[in-house]
């Protein structure tokens, strides 16, 4: 019945596409049942136009540049990179030598033994192996065959980029030889259309891009066998034909579709020798351009509302722009440049001043170009690449250009003539389409406030994080989004990490704002809406609400002062005498340690910096354990960290007020609420050494003023006020 209902919702175009795919799959299934498919490198001549298969290495060394790096760049790039960083070759060996020994870092799993030769169908972390069945019948989401993310990450062959980097920076052919051997092993174990490594078009796309890099790296060595290039081209052609016939128009029309189109476009433009190249370019270019308006909001945010997948989209379009410029595709270059600029500005806003992106929404630990072993949350290479391509140095945090940028440009970039400010642009930025507000100060404080809707399409990569905050103070991450950890291997952990309790927001009566249904779907979703985003003489004010606890409404107001005071006001609006239990959660970055203090909490950073937290709620903290206090810095990891909990029990309406600031002296916090004919009014006074800030809040409106007080004066918090403004107790 469900399939019939879904079919009835399809338009004529989708029905025709699905019919073609089904017909092709049926024919393929019959074919592989009759005869086990095999690679046929004898057919390479039929795939090539304008190249001699007997001299392919020489051909790729002598032709014009159609890819970011060219085989003839090896000596020049090596000299320039080592002049800039003499330790680069040693670092390249440190990353590449374990690969030669059969050990890899895979997502968040470190030093994983993959063996030699590698079993390309095995999840080496969980020691489970996928069957070699016809590709469309592989149940890759079934944990019985392992974590498909781990298996696919290994088969993306992005570690070949690590080997290629080491080969060029050291001149050691062992790294080249490992690429040559692994390609042949992979071809032997993965006949066309068979097994898990043919089941996801995006994975074939990523693998194809890795093979394009490997081609450039290996062609720099004139003793690389010509028949190896022929084998690579045969395998590349078969995989891209498969992608071309099974694009994710209706399966995963998000970054999956973008990545697939990118591989077609890049391969087609950089390998015009292949007879299908023109078709790939035509399709890839069309999809990449068509999806700009569908997947990228006018404010620059990617529609999936995940910082991780936003970075994927940014890197995809930056590579498309690079290829368009290198190959003279002027018709596409302008569109790719425009969308890259929007995506880059959004990413720079979400990133803190060290270039780290928050783990908002899902993150799967993958990257487009993991050549230097960098943490996937470190977006400096992408932002610096964008700064160079788009001529906008403000996009690069601190003006830095990490080594990756040299590989992506094919040259070591010139240092910027002007060092951009650490906080680019206005101190408050509103992204109305994506649903985020970003506030920052010149002292490197940074706040990201989630005020938007819940995800894209089925919300597959969304979290129940309405009105959540991510906060850095003085350049140090403090309140974090704890991340994802897993997709399919642990259903309870999957739901917990994307649940409301794993975000810096408020829970009411233990309810989730949004309720999941399976690893990539939701049964019920909440929607947040921004009400105010204002600048004040001494800071910025943001206020929003969401309906996830209906009939109650959760409002949150956030004030970031220009000297680093952070005030969060959580209000629960409603009527009645029913007591509600509210719990506000604050997830700390693992570098911070918690200590109980006389008033609130004392937080001590590994650098010895101190923060103080005061709250009208009852504060306590947990680290690890059943109730929370966990984070996943990258997919596959789960680490204990401190989580502060502030609890409050009262009938609605009521408020919880939290103040956070630097220093060893806790801020005093005095709060009074009063109901009037025109609504509830809140007066908050925060006392710090030599200063008192007074906030008057009415709904989403704020009035703020500060005054100087004698250093000996302390404003002690009275008992919390009742709905009518009378102290309780």
Q: Is the pLDDT of residue 562 over 50?
A: yes
Per-residue pLDDT of 265-277, as tens digits, reads 999 999 999 999 9
Q: How much is the pLDDT for 425?
A: 54
Phi, psi (deg, nearest 5) at residue 452: -115, -165
Residue 17 to residues 12, 245, 638, Cα–Cα distance (Å): 9, 10, 41
Q: Is the pLDDT of residue 371 over 60?
A: yes
Task: Average the pLDDT over 395-424 and give the result.
Answer: 81
pTM over 0.75: yes
Q: Is the pLDDT of residue 94 over 60?
A: yes
Q: How much is the pLDDT for 422?
A: 47
Q: State the burial class of residue 461 (Cβ atoms within 10 Å of its Cβ: 0-12, 13-18, 19+).
A: buried
Per-residue pLDDT of 423-472, as tens digits, reads 455 699 999 999 999 999 999 999 999 999 898 877 789 999 999 999 99
Q: State the burial class of residue 364 (Cβ atoms within 10 Å of its Cβ: 0-12, 13-18, 19+).
A: buried
- Cα separation, 338 vs 344, in Å, equals 10
Which spans in 220-364 are helix H?
A: 226-245, 255-270, 277-295, 307-327, 330-350
Q: Is 102 helix (H, G, I), strand (E, B) or coil?
A: coil
Count CA atoms closer than 13 A to 620's CA, side-chain side.
6
Per-residue pLDDT of 637-670, as tens digits, reads 999 999 999 999 999 999 999 999 998 888 889 9
**Residue 727: DSSP 8-state:** B
Contact 41, 372 (CB under 8 A): no
Contact 687, 668 (CB under 8 A): yes
Contact 167, 173 (CB under 8 A): yes
Contact 549, 574 (CB under 8 A): no
Contact 695, 707 (CB under 8 A): no
- Cα separation, 596 vs 667, in Å, equals 14
Q: Find the distance separating the first CA and the last CA of the chain, reported in whole Å.
A: 58
What one-character-per-residue DSSP string does 387-430 give? HHHHT-GGGSGGG---HHHHHHHTSPPPPPSSPPPSS-S-SEEE
Q: How much is the pLDDT for 420?
A: 52
User: Kindly report the CA angle at 154 between 152 and 158, in degrees rounded to 5?
Assistant: 105
Which spans in 35-158 are helix H?
A: 44-47, 56-62, 74-84, 88-100, 148-155
Instruction: Say which residue the tokens 């109980």 belong to.
Output: 596
Task: Average the pLDDT over 601-617 and give the result.
Answer: 96
Q: Residue 121: which of 186, 59, 57, 60 has the closest Cα?
A: 186
Cis peptide before 653 (omega within 30 of 0): yes
Q: State the burial class of residue 65 (Cβ atoms within 10 Å of its Cβ: 0-12, 13-18, 19+).
A: middle
Q: Is 116 helix (H, G, I), strand (E, B) or coil?
A: coil
Q: How much is the pLDDT for 717?
A: 40
Q: Is the pLDDT of residue 241 over 90?
A: yes
Instruction: Say which residue the tokens 């071809």 belong to.
Output: 187
Q: State the burial class of residue 26 (Cβ atoms within 10 Å of its Cβ: 0-12, 13-18, 19+).
A: exposed
Q: How many helices (H) and strands (E) in the chain?
A: 18, 29
More confident residue, 472 or 706: 472
The tokens describing 617, both together, are 């709620």
- Cα separation, 615 vs 617, in Å, equals 5
**Buried b / exposed e along 417-453 (16+ C-beta atoms within 10 A):** eeebebbbeebbbbbeebbbbbbbbeebbbbbbbbbb
Q: Residue 455: which of 633, 310, 630, 341 has the closest Cα?
A: 310
Task: Average the pLDDT over 386-414 and give the result.
Answer: 94
Cis peptide before 616 (omega within 30 of 0): no
pLDDT-above-90 percentage for the chain: 80
User: Kindly report the CA angle at 369 between 480 and 634, in degrees rounded to 5?
Assistant: 25
Task: Average the pLDDT over 474-484 and give the result.
Answer: 96
How many CB atoms within 10 Å of residue 289? Answer: 17
Contact 113, 103 (CB under 8 A): yes
Q: How much is the pLDDT for 663?
A: 86
Give me the sign of the Cα torsion angle 380, 384, 390, 395: positive
Q: How much is the pLDDT for 13?
A: 84
Q: Is 505 helix (H, G, I), strand (E, B) or coil?
A: coil
Q: How much is the pLDDT for 460?
A: 84
Q: Which residues contact 508 (CB under 8 A, 6 or more apart)?
A: 549, 552, 554, 572, 580, 581, 582
Helix (H) or strand (E) holding 186: helix 173-189
- Cα separation, 27 vs 458, in Å, equals 31
Contact 355, 394 (CB under 8 A): no
**What average pLDDT does the chain have?**
91
Q: Which residues contact 417 (CB under 8 A, 6 or more apart)?
A: none
Task: Average the pLDDT over 327-355 and give the result.
Answer: 97
Per-residue pLDDT of 49-80, as tens digits, reads 777 778 999 999 999 999 999 999 999 999 99
Task: Average the pLDDT over 558-567 and give the result.
Answer: 94
- Cα separation, 474 vs 426, in Å, equals 18
pLDDT-above-70 percentage for the chain: 94
Q: How much is the pLDDT for 45?
A: 77
SS (H, E, C) 623-690: ECCCCCCEEECCCCCCEECEEEEEEEEEECCEEEEEEEEECCCCCEEEEEEEEECCEEEEEEEEEECC
- Cα separation, 219 vs 84, in Å, equals 25
Q: How much is the pLDDT for 706?
A: 83
């Amino acid at each position: 019945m469900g399939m019939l209902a879904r079919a009835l919702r399809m338009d004529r175009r989708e029905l025709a596409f699905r019919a073609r795919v089904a017909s092709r799959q049926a024919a393929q299934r019959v074919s592989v049942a009759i005869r086990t498919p095999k690679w046929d490198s004898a057919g390479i001549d039929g795939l090539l136009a304008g190249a001699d298969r007997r001299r392919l290495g020489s051909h790729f060394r002598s032709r014009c540049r159609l890819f970011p790096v060219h085989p003839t760049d090896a000596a020049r790039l090596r000299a320039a990179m080592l002049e800039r960083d003499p330790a680069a070759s040693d670092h390249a060996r440190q990353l590449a030598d374990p690969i030669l020994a059969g050990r890899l870092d895979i997502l968040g799993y470190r030093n994983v033994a993959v063996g030699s030769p590698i079993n390309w169908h095995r999840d080496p972390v969980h020691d489970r192996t996928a069957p070699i069945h016809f590709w469309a019948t592989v149940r890759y989401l079934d944990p019985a065959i392992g974590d498909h993310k781990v298996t696919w990450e290994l088969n993306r062959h992005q570690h070949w980029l690590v080997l290629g980097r080491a080969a060029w920076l050291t001149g050691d052919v062992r790294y080249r030889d490992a690429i040559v051997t692994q390609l042949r092993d992979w071809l032997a174990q993965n006949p066309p259309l068979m097994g898990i490594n043919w089941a996801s078009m995006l994975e074939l796309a990523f693998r194809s891009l890795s093979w394009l890099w490997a081609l450039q790296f290996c062609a720099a060595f004139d003793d690389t066998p010509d028949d190896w290039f022929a084998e690579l081209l045969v395998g590349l052609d078969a995989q891209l034909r498969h992608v071309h016939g099974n694009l994710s128009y209706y399966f995963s029309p998000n970054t999956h579709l973008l990545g697939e189109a990118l591989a077609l476009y890049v391969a087609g433009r950089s390998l015009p020798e292949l007879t299908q190249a023109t078709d790939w370019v035509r399709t890839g270019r069309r999809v990449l351009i068509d999806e700009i308006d569908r997947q990228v909001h006018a404010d620059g945010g990617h529609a999936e509302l995940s910082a991780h997948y936003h970075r994927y989209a940014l890197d995809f379009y930056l590579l498309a722009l690079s290829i368009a410029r290198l190959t003279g595709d002027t018709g596409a270059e302008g569109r790719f440049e425009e969308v890259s600029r929007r995506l880059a500005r959004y990413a720079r806003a979400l990133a803190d001043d060290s270039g780290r992106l928050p783990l908002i929404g899902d993150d799967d630990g993958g990257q487009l170009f993991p050549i230097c072993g960098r943490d996937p949350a470190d977006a400096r290479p992408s932002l610096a690449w964008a700064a160079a391509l788009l001529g906008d140095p403000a996009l690069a945090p601190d003006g830095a250009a990490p080594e990756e940028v040299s590989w992506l440009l094919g040259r070591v970039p010139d240092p910027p003539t002007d060092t951009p400010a650490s906080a680019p642009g206005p101190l408050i930025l509103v992204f109305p389409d994506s649903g985020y507000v970003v506030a920052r100060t010149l002292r490197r404080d940074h706040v990201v406030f989630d005020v938007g809707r819940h995800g894209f399409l089925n919300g597959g990569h969304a979290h129940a994080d309405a009105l959540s905050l991510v906060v850095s103070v003085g350049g140090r991450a403090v309140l974090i989004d704890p991340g994802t950890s897993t997709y399919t291997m642990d259903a309870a952990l999957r739901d917990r990490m994307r649940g409301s309790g794993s975000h810096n927001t408020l829970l009411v009566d233990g309810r989730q704002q949004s309720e999941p249904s399976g690893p990539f779907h939701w049964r019920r979703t909440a929607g947040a809406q921004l009400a105010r985003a204002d600048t004040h003489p001494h800071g910025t004010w943001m206020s929003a609400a969401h309906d996830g606890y209906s009939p109650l409404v959760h409002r949150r107001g956030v004030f970031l002062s220009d000297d680093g005071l952070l005030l969060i006001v959580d209000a629960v609006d409603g009527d009645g005498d029913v007591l509600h239990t509210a719990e506000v959660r604050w997830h700390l970055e693992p570098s911070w340690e918690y200590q109980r203090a006389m008033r609130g909490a004392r937080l001590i950073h590994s650098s010895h910096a101190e923060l103080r937290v005061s709250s009208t709620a009852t504060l306590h903290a947990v680290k690890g354990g059943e109730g929370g206090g966990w984070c996943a810095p990258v997919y596959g990891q789960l680490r204990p960290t401190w989580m502060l909990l502030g609890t409050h029990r009262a009938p609605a309406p009521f408020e919880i007020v939290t103040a956070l600031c630097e220093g060893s002296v806790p801020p005093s916090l005095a709060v009074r609420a009063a109901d009037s004919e025109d609504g509830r009014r809140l007066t908050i006074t925060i006392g710090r050494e030599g200063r008192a800030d007074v906030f008057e809040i009415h709904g989403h409106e704020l009035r703020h003023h500060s005054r100087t007080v004698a250093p000996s004066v302390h404003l002690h918090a009275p008992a919390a006020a009742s709905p009518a403004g009378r102290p309780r107790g």
